[in-house]
């Protein structure tokens, strides 16, 4: 078997058996299941099958508030005065009461009495009291339809139009922001995890002094490529587990959580996102492997790697510019720079698409960056690995690349 493949298989198997890897892989499905379970539990507990009618008392000093006593599961009970109301409250005949003062029409002030400790008046209670007051104020003078509109006057939908006054096809702003966000999050997470394993693996061999044995058996390039592919495969496996569990969860959730319905991703964007994901991942894996070989200690390499990982997320800071104006010069530049290309491209793909020349150039640059770092990385790796405890400076590194 090819030595690169032997290294790749070894790294993959070792990583798959790592406790930290197994825990991280299982974390997402477990969190989703637990989260969904809590959501279901709360729903069940919060919406008992037979909703009880809550009794709210009121004392009407202004007069005229004696109709529409039934409002969405709340019964409004008229009481003659504050003493009687307080008695009813203490004996728990009513949950709370409010007082409509004589000058209500000029001030609009209402006092509410409750035994509950609350940060503020619950929205539902406020809505019910409001509906009751509105109904009594205008109810007798208008049709039921007008009364209904008076209670809920606005149900707002916004529609985006282009320069020609045409309604734009994609009217799903949630999708435009959510897809790049989820993609970016997954890319960031997998880069962090897999690069952590790469750094750990290379630093371990450095600390273990195994490097000399390995280099007396294989070339630095075989070692680097084997490691990146093996750990890359482990990382992709992890992401696949996460993606599948999110998919399954989304399927279940969509049918049960009404707010999330109508959520879908165009297939072409999905394929390109996958391509960008794999390439972006490979690029960072190679960069991380090189960092792992330059750093003196695992900790040092780790802190450098976070700096690199942050550059992947750079487009996140410009998400509003990129999503709202996908052909902005900044968006084009970020699409072409290999480190920011994956995330930027996916942001643009999910809103308007990318011109073919930019897409082609971006992928080509990304691919050449991967090849370049593989090539230079093997040389730096070979030169740096044996310099235990001595960190090379930038001049040393460029010399290694030239000489090796």
Partner 1 sequence: MNGNSKAVEVSKVSKRFGDVEAAKDISFEVESGEIFGLIGPNGAGKTTVIRMLMEIIKPDSGDVRILGEPLQEATKNVIGYLPEERGLYKKLTVVDTLSYLAALKGTSGSATRQRATMFLERTGMLLHQHKKVEELSKGMAQLIQFIATILHDPQLVILDEPFYGLDPVNTRLLKDMVSELRKQGKTIILSTHMMNEVEELCDRILMINKGQSVLYGNLSEIKACYRTDSVFISVDGHLGQIDGVVSTKNHGTHQELLLDGKTSPQQVLASLVNRNITVNRFEVATPALSEIFIEVVRGQHE
Mask for 13-52, x = binds partner 1 (CB under 8 A): -x--------------------------------------
- State which of positions 193-232 bind partner 1 (CB under 8 A): 204-205, 207-210, 212-219
Instruction: Work out the end-to-end distance of the chain between its first and last CA atoms, rounded to an integer number of angstroms.
Output: 27
Tell me the C-alpha distance between 40 and 53, whole Å. Answer: 23
Partner residues linked to 96 by β-bridges: 56, 114
Regarding 54 and contact with partner 1 (CB under 8 A), the answer is: no
Of 14 and 314, CB closest to partner 1: 14
Regarding 158 and contact with partner 1 (CB under 8 A), the answer is: no
**Nearest approach, Cβ of residue 10 and partner 1 (Å):** 5
Tell me the C-alpha distance between 297 and 294, whole Å. Answer: 9
Among 386, 391, 398, 399, binds partner 1 (CB under 8 A): 386
Helix (H) or strand (E) holding 93: none
Mask for 331-370, x = binds partner 1 (CB under 8 A): ----------------------------------------
- Side-chain half-sphere of 24: how many Cα atoms within 13 Å? 23
Regarding 6 and contact with partner 1 (CB under 8 A), the answer is: yes
Torsion, CA 154, CA 258, CA 270, CA 268, rounded to 10: -60
**Nearest approach, Cβ of residue 363 and partner 1 (Å):** 32
Partner residues linked to 78 by β-bridges: 58
Tell me the C-alpha distance between 157 and 161, whole Å. Answer: 13
Tell me the C-alpha distance between 281 and 185, whole Å. Answer: 13
Of 14 and 313, CB closest to partner 1: 14
**Nearest approach, Cβ of residue 203 and partner 1 (Å):** 12
Alpha carbon 204 to its chain's center: 33
187: closest CA among 92, 78, 327, 284? 284
Of 5 and 265, CB closest to partner 1: 5
Tell me the C-alpha distance between 240 and 154, whole Å. Answer: 43
**Nearest approach, Cβ of residue 25 and partner 1 (Å):** 18
Of 201 and 362, CB closest to partner 1: 201
**Nearest approach, Cβ of residue 371 and partner 1 (Å):** 20
Token representation of residue 299: 């900790």
**Nearest approach, Cβ of residue 208 and partner 1 (Å):** 3
Regarding 1 and contact with partner 1 (CB under 8 A), the answer is: yes
**Nearest approach, Cβ of residue 404 and partner 1 (Å):** 8
Adjacency order of strands within the sheet including 70-71: 70-71, 74-79, 54-60, 96-100, 111-114
**Residue numbers at the binding site for partner 1 (CB under 8 A):** 1, 3, 6-7, 10, 14, 204-205, 207-210, 212-219, 386, 403
């Amino acid at each position: 078997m090819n030595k690169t493949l032997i290294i790749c298989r070894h790294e993959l198997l070792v990583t798959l058996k790592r406790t930290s890897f197994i825990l991280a892989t299982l974390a997402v499905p477990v969190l989703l299941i637990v989260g969904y379970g809590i959501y279901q539990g709360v729903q069940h507990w919060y919406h008992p099958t037979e909703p009880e009618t809550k009794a709210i008392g009121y004392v009407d000093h202004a007069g005229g508030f004696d109709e529409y006593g039934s409002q969405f599961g709340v019964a409004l009970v008229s009481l003659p005065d504050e003493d009687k109301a307080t008695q009813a409250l203490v004996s728990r005949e009513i949950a709370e009461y409010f007082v409509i003062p004589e000058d209500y029409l000029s001030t609009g002030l209402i006092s509410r009495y409750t035994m509950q400790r609350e940060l503020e008046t619950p929205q539902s209670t406020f809505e019910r009291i409001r509906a009751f007051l509105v109904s009594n104020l205008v109810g007798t003078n208008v049709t039921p339809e007008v009364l209904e509109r008076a209670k809920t006057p606005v149900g707002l939908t916004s529609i985006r139009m282009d320069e020609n006054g045409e309604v734009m096809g994609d009217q799903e702003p949630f999708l435009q922001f959510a897809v790049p966000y989820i993609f970016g999050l997954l890319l960031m997470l997998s880069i962090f995890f897999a690069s952590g394993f790469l750094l750990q693996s290379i630093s371990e061999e450095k600390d273990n002094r195994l490097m000399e044995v390995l280099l007396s058996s294989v070339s630095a390039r075989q070692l680097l490529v084997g490691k990146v592919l093996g750990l890359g495969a482990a990382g992709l496996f992890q992401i696949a587990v996460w993606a599948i569990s999110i998919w399954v969860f989304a399927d279940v959730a969509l049918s049960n959580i009404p707010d999330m319905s109508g959520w879908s991703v165009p297939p072409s964007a999905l394929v390109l996102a996958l391509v960008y994901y794999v390439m972006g991942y490979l690029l960072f894996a190679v960069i991380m492997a090189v960092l792992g070989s330059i750093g003196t200690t695992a900790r040092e390499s780790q802190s450098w790697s976070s700096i690199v990982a942050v550059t992947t997320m750079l487009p996140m800071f410009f998400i509003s510019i990129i999503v709202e104006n996908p052909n902005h010069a900044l968006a084009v530049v970020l699409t072409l720079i290999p480190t920011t290309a994956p995330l930027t491209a996916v942001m643009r793909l999910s809103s308007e698409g990318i011109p073919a020349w930019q897409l082609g150039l971006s992928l080509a640059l990304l691919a050449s960056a991967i090849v370049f770092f593989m090539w230079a990385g093997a040389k730096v790796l070979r030169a740096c690995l044996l310099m235990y405890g001595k960190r090379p400076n930038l001049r040393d590194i460029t010399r290694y690349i030239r000489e090796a």
